[in-house]
Amino acid sequence: MFYKQLPNREEMAEPKENENTDGKRSPFMLAGYSVFNVEQCDGLNVPIIEETTLNLVEQDKACEEIVNNWAERPTIRTEIRTESRAYYRPSTDSVHIPARFRFVDTAHYYKDPVS
């Protein structure tokens, strides 16, 4: 599905005298497209993409002890492989962190994101 907001034709034209434009919004466009996996298509000359290796991010013993000894700590979720950002979710009292392989190295995994 593809959607976007289109420019409002009334905004582009000169407003008429005594015309009330309150509450008017620009229209939206919505379009659906059929797409296929490249493996479902015949006769395509597609370059082969080499598999990438995952970064090896080792555990730091001192850092892990700090986290594990944290009294009343929130749940820490790192198992979501597609997660690309770190954030706190108050509704579940959980901290979501990208999987280890998404980091360049061990230092970046344990680095304070604010600094």
At residue 42, the pLDDT reads 87
Is there a domain that residue 26 lies in? yes
Q: Are residues 105 and 65 in the same domain?
A: yes
First to last CA, the chain: 38
**pLDDT exceeds cutoff 60 at 12:** no
Is there a domain that residue 51 lies in? no
Q: Are residues 69 and 36 in the same domain?
A: no
Q: Are residues 69 and 98 in the same domain?
A: yes
Give 52 or 44, the one with higher predicted confidence. Answer: 44
Q: Are residues 103 and 69 in the same domain?
A: yes
Q: Are residues 36 and 66 in the same domain?
A: no
**pLDDT exceeds cutoff 80 at 18:** no
115 vs 113: CA distance, rounded Å: 6
97 vs 57: CA distance, rounded Å: 14
Hey, is 64 helix, strand or coil? helix
Q: What's the Rg (C-alpha) of the chain? A: 25
At residue 27, the pLDDT reads 85
Nearest residue to 113 via CA among 83, 85, 94:
85
The string of pLDDT tens digits covering residues 54-110 is 788 899 999 999 988 989 889 999 888 888 888 999 999 999 999 888 888 888 888
Domain count for the chain, please give it: 2
16 vs 51: CA distance, rounded Å: 61
Q: Are residues 65 and 106 in the same domain?
A: yes
Is there a domain that residue 68 lies in? yes
Is there a domain that residue 52 lies in? no
Domain span holding position 17: 2-40
Q: Are residues 70 and 105 in the same domain?
A: yes
At residue 94, the pLDDT reads 92
H and E: helices and strands count for the chain: 3, 5
Residues 9 and 31: beta-carbon distance below 8 Å: no
